[in-house]
Structure 1
Amino acid sequence: MKIEVNNLSKSYKSTKALDHVSFTLSEPKIYGLLGRNGAGKTTFMEILSGHILASDGEILIDGENPFDNQRLTESICLIKEGDNFKRDLKVKNVLRIYAYFYPTWDQELADELIKEYNLNLNAKVKALSKGMASALGIIVGLASKAPITIFDEPYIGLDAAARKKFYDILLEEYEAEKRTIIFSTHLIDEVSLMFEEVLILQDGKLIMQEEADTLRDQAYAVSGQVEDVEQFIADKEVIQSKQLAGMMTAYVYGHIEQATSAGLTAEGIPIQELMIYLTETKGA
């Protein structure tokens, strides 16, 4: 399903959560939606899911607005950090409701995941620990098989082993049947290798949209004597630079081979570090 975001803005009284954001997601991929707290990620995901209206601009999915559009909302599953389900419902009733709502629901997968996470079907949502509540969200998100599946910090309370199992199952399901997966997280180092495309928001604006492989190949740190690094970066796109005791390190967007051939020390920048560098300065 093609997602077109056209001059999207959302304001809450005096706060602008999204500020004229435009981009297109044209094919099924695993997208990393990154940014610091307050960048506008959750607001964007809620508009995309049809939960709230934009103040200005629009999101179109296959040419249609998702708000109050059942055909589209049956194709979108948003799993948030918390409060995904009514607290007085039993787990088995939550799963029954979502199985009824999503035409693409995979009950066999849901049953496998219930066993994997040892989820008590007769427990009420309000009695679940944070980890078990997250497991329920993960089960719904994966078993929905919605063509657009959105995970917004979906694993609060899960330990490292349970998170890894989630990542492995998500990749298995994605490889078996492609869908658009939008993944927003602060644990970027854990999941960045899954990303096929990365979008970074800052202060409600889109500051980067790039193929993940391009970022891995072309964003790097170069270090050496100040004069040597300054000469090297003179015609380069520099993300950030810093100096200490006659030495300089610059974060550069380009081809790492150019730095090594110039006799400088160069190494790739993890996507998490790149996001930090890009968003730590106003107007980056």
Structure 2
Amino acid sequence: MRCEAEFLDVTLRYGKTTALDAVSCCLQPGTTYGLIGRNGAGKTSMLSLLASCRRPSSGTVRIGGEEPFENANRMGEVHLVYSRDMSEEDDSIRVTLEHAARYRPGFDMAYARDLLSRFRLDPAKPLNKLSVGMQAAVNVVEGLASGAAITLFDEVHHGMDAPSRQLFYEALIEARQDSDRIIVLSTHLVSEMAYLFDQVMVLDRGRMVIDEPYDTVVDRGVTVTGPAAEVDSFSGSYTVIDRKTLGGTAAVMLYGSLSARERAEASARGLELSPVSLQELFIHLTKEENAYAINQS
């Protein structure tokens, strides 16, 4: 599979602050990426580079083999969707989408109207008269209908209620079916959105610490529960990213795949193995005390 977009040893600095530190990655067509990280990890900075809002301090960003910054042929292939202040925007939803369609040849207005109906949005209503959640839905409609080869959603679900978020997720699944679009979802709602991810990218303090298929990532996490002495003996050679005890029972979270032989050994010792969710892994992998061990694994 080809790299439609790639980062090659990209660093981005704002004065003395390093937002991205030597990041390299490859975005492949037809893939939905979950971009996760704590506040300030560099997620928005990474998306802004893809969207040609700025150029890197060092390293190279490429889209279709070309650097996109100030490159009209490539800038139009990327659409960045983010929460914005609409308090001064009195254009109607219809006019807003018509403006968007003028600048994006692939914009599907019929699909946009269908999405407006699903979200129960009145096309005649001004943006500044909408609730925060409705404004977010307008952003979602614009992004999905844009037809952009690379569509970036940066915490765009902010303010949306649960039913609206579910509509968004269903539309995302539709958008990636029979399509080569690259979709990047930057989110803190990891547990709710994980099922949408084909590939997981975890940024921690500006560095890419994980960039792997979703199934590979979650297979690396396992919780081992049982008598404390047996748990500690079994887990001694693994990377332990969390440990809890209750009386004589311990539960440790390991980072690393277990072979069939190792799982059989755990069972023979009377230990219980259980999977770990992506959210649990994310929380523990980005703890200060785990950073070095995970970067070395």
TM-score range, shorter chain: over 0.9
1:148 aligns with 2:155: no
2:278 match: 271
CA drift at 1:136 = 0.6
> Structure 1 residues 261, 144: closer, same or farther in 2, change over 3 A?
farther
CA drift at 1:244 = 4.4
CA drift at 1:88 = 4.0
> Structure 1 residues 85, 185: closer, same or farther in 2, change over 3 A?
farther
1:121 match: 123
CA drift at 1:183 = 0.5
Query: Equivalent of 2:232, from 230, 233, 247?
Result: 230
CA drift at 1:112 = 0.2
Letter paired with 1:13: G
1:174 match: 176
Is the CA contact 2:34–2:186 (under 8 Å) kept in the aligned structure 1? yes
What is the rounded CA distance, in whole Å, between the counterparts of 1:155 and 1:231 in structure 2?
44
What is the rounded CA distance, in whole Å, between the counterparts of 1:216 and 1:69 in structure 2?
38
> Structure 1 residues 247, 83: closer, same or farther in 2, change over 3 A?
same
> Structure 1 residues 52, 261: closer, same or farther in 2, change over 3 A?
farther
What is the rounded CA distance, in whole Å, between the counterparts of 2:80 and 2:271 in structure 1?
46
2:195 match: 193
Is the CA contact 2:30–2:176 (under 8 Å) kept in the aligned structure 1? no
Is the CA contact 1:218–1:256 (under 8 Å) kept in the aligned structure 2? no
2:216 match: 214
Letter paired with 2:155: E
1:131 match: 133
Partner SS for 1:176: coil
What is the rounded CA distance, in whole Å, between the counterparts of 2:115 and 2:52 in structure 1?
27
For residues 233-252 of structure 1, what are the alpha-carbon distances to aligned partners after superposition, in whole Å with 9 as ceiling and x for unaligned? 23334333344433322222
1:254 aligns with 2:257: yes
CA drift at 1:17 = 1.1
1:26 aligns with 2:28: yes
Supply the RMSD in Å over aligned alpha carbons: 2.0
2:54 match: 52
1:37 aligns with 2:39: yes
Question: Is there any run of 5+ residues in structure 1 with no aligned partner, and where?
Answer: none
What is the rounded CA distance, in whole Å, between the counterparts of 2:138 and 2:214 in structure 1?
29
Partner SS for 2:56: coil
> Structure 1 residues 220, 85: closer, same or farther in 2, change over 3 A?
farther
What is the rounded CA distance, in whole Å, between the counterparts of 2:103 and 2:270 in structure 1?
60
1:107 match: 109
For residues 204-223 of structure 1, what are the alpha-carbon distances to aligned partners after superposition, in whole Å with 9 as ceiling and x for unaligned? 11111111011233311111
- TM-score, normalised via structure 1 length: 0.93
Query: Equivalent of 1:75, from 61, 74, 77?
Result: 77
> Structure 1 residues 24, 139: closer, same or farther in 2, change over 3 A?
same
What is the rounded CA distance, in whole Å, between the counterparts of 1:67 and 1:16 in structure 2?
20
Letter paired with 1:277: H
> Structure 1 residues 5, 262: closer, same or farther in 2, change over 3 A?
farther
Is the CA contact 1:256–1:267 (under 8 Å) kept in the aligned structure 2? no
What is the rounded CA distance, in whole Å, between the counterparts of 1:204 and 1:171 in structure 2?
29
CA drift at 1:84 = 8.0
Partner SS for 1:95: helix
Is the CA contact 1:47–1:59 (under 8 Å) kept in the aligned structure 2? yes
1:280 aligns with 2:252: no
What is the rounded CA distance, in whole Å, between the counterparts of 2:259 and 2:205 in structure 1?
30
Question: Is there any run of 5+ residues in structure 2 with no aligned partner, and where?
Answer: 293-297
Query: Equivalent of 2:15, from 13, 16, 19?
Result: 13
Partner SS for 1:38: coil
> Structure 1 residues 16, 85: closer, same or farther in 2, change over 3 A?
farther
